[in-house]
Amino acid sequence: MMTDFPTAFLFFAAGLTLLALPQGRARSILSLIVPILAGWQIWTLPEGALWQVTFFGLELELMRVDRLSRVFGLIFSLAAFLGNLYAWHVRDAVQQVAALLYAGAAIGAVFAGDLIALFFYWEGTAIASVFLIWARRTEGAYHTGMRYLIVQIASGVILLAGAALYWRETGSLAFETMTLGSPGTWLIFLSFGIKAAFPLLHNWLQDSYPAATVTGTVILSAFTTKLAIYALARGFAGTEILIYIGVVMTLFPIFFAEIENDLRRVLAYSLNNQLGFMVVGIGIGTEMALNGTAAHAFAHILYKALLFMSVGAVLYRTGTSKASELGGLYRTMPKTAIFCLVGAASISAFPLFSGFVTKALVLDEAASAHYKWVWAALVFASAGVLSHSGIKIPFFTFFAHDSGLRPKEAPTHMLWAMGITAALCVLIGIFPAPLYAILPYEVDFHPYTSGHVIGQLQLLLFALLAFGFLMRTGIHPPELRAINLDTDWIYRRAGPWLIARVVAIVSTIWGAVAGAVTSAIRGLIAHFYRSHGPEGRIAHIWPTGSMVLWLAVMLGVTLLVVYTT
Amino acid sequence: MNDTEDTSGFPALGRAMLWVDKPGSATKIFRALAVLCVFVFAAGFAVDMHGHFAVESFGGFYAIYGFVMFTGLILVAKALRVIIKRREDYYGDKAIDREDYPEDQLEKLRYDD
């Protein structure tokens, strides 16, 4: 029975059903049941192309189940469950429906077997998710949401254009591995790259995620970018340029994250950095590297959600997520602090935590393929992750100087959401085998060798030592109330400035031209008025006399014409 | 930390962690970390690191790389801040950085509420 319809439809139906239910617990319960049903359906579905629909003569493949799509479908269902549990208290129908539709669209996209179905779901994630930003209901959130929506919709439109060209080139719309080269594949690649937050295309992420609601950011963090990672893994595995794009992605955000004040934006930069590891894995493209990408996406969704949840809980209780305003909260929010530390240890890839057993897959593949500089950059980026997500987030929120804030511990449902997520982070770290078992390819990898463990501990502990040293010597930059420029400057400052300049120049020229034309016409009118107006010279002659004269001239001319022809 | 503050109302877990703010605790933690570092540094020479690159065969490679690169990262980030830091109202009043989070969507409570 469960194979009778695509998983995405379950979420869409639930979105409609939710509106029919009275506001209150019933809606929250529905939001929890649906991801469980979806996860169970995905778990039990056989592999293969299970559901087609004909649309304007096109055969759309809505349920292509294989090992790659299954692992993403499962983690998306799990993320939807945890996010909705965290949002149990929300009594805002807009957010509740948006969260369901967004998760549904993301899962739909993962199971889409052709580019057109992918396009529909791709745009679906954009439209549903923007409401999680707008639901903040402030002017700033409205404007940020607009910028987010424009970028996301543009990604979809580029995907559609790419799909159309690809269809002309190959005669096929099937979403399979492609080779970069033709305009169509480049457009599809660009479309995926926007959503995956490639360098220079990345800033929608850091701009928008901190603008969403407390719970909205947790939900946003799971889907859009990892959908893009899935799409890249499906479409462009082994594309070498991705290795270098991925390396840049792991590197540049760590510098920005280090000096960013809004902790939810720090996490958005950190998210960008983690995507870099996945993109490198896709670029390498071997079976183990793709396993690494899928495993890292799985673990990353959990610990990233956990970190966003803990900072969100602080925001929910204190009204701010700015590092400069926080500090010392462990006193009254100790459980949230500990969950945050688990998330921090997981993303930093400490042994026994999830990041360790998943990131190692990608790093090991980069090393065994002898990408020396890539490997060196990734190891550096791993130390960088520790600096912002491992240290900065927990340290400046829950420890460091005492802000004097004494907020109450997070609400029970948030603690449950964080607790389950934290437990999963630890379980994956200690027992990686079940996760390895659901990866796209056979895994033959042992993360807990003495060399791996000691090497990683050396890297992290000495980086911590450096942090301690820099803090004690006062070299470490303080947390300041400020923002930092990024590429959004181009469309938030330079673009409007340029448009204002162009408007000024064009209106000056227009004013001058229009003024000249107007005064010329005025002059002409004045001239005729002088001669033909009531006071004009022509008006002095009695008109009947001149008319008779001109009539005589005309008759004379007619006579001449008649005689001569 | 305010010495006169009554901490008896804090959650037990929070009270248990209060020692981190006692005078001298930070130094103790730092020293403990330093001891741990010495231990893992030495361990690097005791175990087979069997890496893919020649640098990894040196037992202390990850330690030195971690320390140096982390320090470099902080220094570069600090320099970057000089160039890209702007006031919070740089993008005007319609930016979230200037707004307070809407109170009606929060449940701001003190621990003793």
Phi-psi group of A285: left, alpha or beta (phi > 0 → left; psi -120 to 50 → alpha; rest → beta)? left
- Quick check: A345 and A454 in contact, CB under 8 A? no
Whether residue A486 and residue B49 make contact (CB cut-off 8 A), yes or no, is: no
Average pLDDT over residues A327-334: 95
Tokens representing A470?
Answer: 């820099």
Q: Give the tens place of pLDDT for each residue, A337-356.
A: 999 999 999 999 999 999 99
Would you state the pLDDT for residue A465? 96
Task: State how far the Cα of A266 lies from the Cα of A456, in Å rounded to an integer.
Answer: 23
Question: With bands split at pLDDT 50, 70 and 90, how would you rate the model's confidence at B3?
Answer: low
Length of chain A: 565
pLDDT in the model for residue B1:
47
Q: At what angle do helices A372-385 and A354-368 cross, to 10 degrees?
A: 160
Torsion from C-alpha of B28, B30, B34, B39, nearest 10 degrees: 70
Are A71 and A298 in contact, with CB atoms under 8 Å apart? yes
pLDDT digits (tens, 9 = 90+) for A23-76: 889 999 999 999 999 999 999 999 988 888 888 888 899 999 999 999 999 999
A vs B, Cβ pairs < 8 A, gives 245
Whether residue B72 is found in the same domain as residue B38: no
Write the pLDDT tens digit of every residue in A466-510: 999 999 999 999 999 999 999 999 999 999 999 999 999 999 999
Q: Tell me what pLDDT residue A318 has.
A: 96
CA A421 – CA A418 distance, rounded (Å): 5
pLDDT at A378 over 50: yes
Distance from C-alpha of A59 to C-alpha of A53, rounded to nearest angstrom: 6
Kindly state whether residue B58 falls inside one of the protein's structural domains: yes
Q: Check pLDDT > 50 for residue A303.
A: yes
- Whether A401 has its CB under 8 Å from any CB of chain B: the answer is no
- pLDDT surpasses 70 at A17: yes
Please judge whether B105 and A470 are an interchain contact, meaning their C-beta atoms are less than 8 angstroms apart. no
- Cβ neighbours, 10 Å, residue A522: 10
Residue of B8, B47, B62 best to disrupt the A interface, most CBs of A under 10 A: B62
* Amino acid letter, A210: P
Of the candidates A213, A468, A481, the beta carbon closest to that of B30 is on: A468
Domain that holds residue B65: 48-89
Question: Would you place residue B2 in the very low, low, confident or very high pLDDT band (cuts 50, 70, 90)?
Answer: low
| Amino acid A80: pLDDT | 97
> Which spans in A400-494 are helix H?
412-430, 433-437, 450-472, 488-489
Claim to verify: residue B43 and residue B11 sit in the same structural domain: yes
Residues B36 and B66 in one domain: no
Mean pLDDT estimate for chain A: 94
Q: Which of residues 534-553 of A touch B (CB under 8 A)?
A: none
Asked whether residue A1 carries a pLDDT value surpassing 50, the answer given is no
Tally the domains of chain B: 2
Comparing CA positions, the residue from A306, A269, A198, A224 lying closest to residue A483 is A269
Q: Are B38 and B56 within one domain?
A: no
In a domain, B81, yes or no: yes
Q: How far away is chain B from the Cα of A333, in angstroms, using its nearest Cα?
A: 7
Give residue A411's Cα distance to chain centre: 28
Give residue A357's pLDDT.
Answer: 96
The verdict on B56 and B43 lying in the same domain is no
Q: How far apart are CA B73 and CA B67, in angstroms?
A: 10
Q: What is the interface pTM, i.e. ipTM, of the complex?
A: 0.95
Tell me the nearest-neighbour CA distance from A242 into chain B, angstroms: 22
Look at A462 and B77 and tell me if their CB atoms are within 8 Å.
Answer: no
Partner-chain residue, chosen from A139, A409, A458, that has the shortest CB–CB distance to B63: A458
The neighbour count for residue A533, using CB atoms within 10 Å, is 13
Do B54 and B42 sit in the same domain of this protein?
A: no
B43 and B54 together in one domain? no
Which of A399, A454, A464 lies at the smallest CB-CB distance from B43? A454
Task: Give the per-residue pLDDT at A275.
Answer: 97
* pLDDT at site B55: 85
Among B52, B64, B76, select the one facing A368 at the smallest CB separation: B52
Are residue B28 and residue B57 in the same domain, yes or no?
no
**Look-up of token digits 């965290």:** A86
In sequence order, what DSSP letters do the residues of A503-552 get, joined into one string? HHHHHHHHHHHHHHHHHHHHHHHHHHHHHHSTTSHHHHS-HHHHHHHHHH
pTM, two decimal places: 0.92
Contact at 8 Å (CB) between A111 and A6?
A: yes
pLDDT value of residue A541: 63
- Cβ pair B85:A482 closer than 8 A: yes
Domain annotation covers residue B9: yes
Q: Over the stretch A247-273, which tens digit does the pLDDT of each residue have? A: 999 999 999 999 999 999 999 999 999
Could you tell me if B16 and B55 lie in one domain?
no
B1 & B42 share domain: yes
DSSP A302-345: HHHHHHHHHHHHHHHHHS--BGGG---GGGT-HHHHHHHHHHHH
- Spatial contact of A97 and A19, defined as CB atoms under 8 Å apart: yes
Q: Does residue A204 surpass a pLDDT of 90?
A: yes
Check whether residue B10 and residue B41 sit in a common domain: yes
Helix locations, A171-202, DSSP H: 183-195
Distance CA A395, CA A300 (A): 20
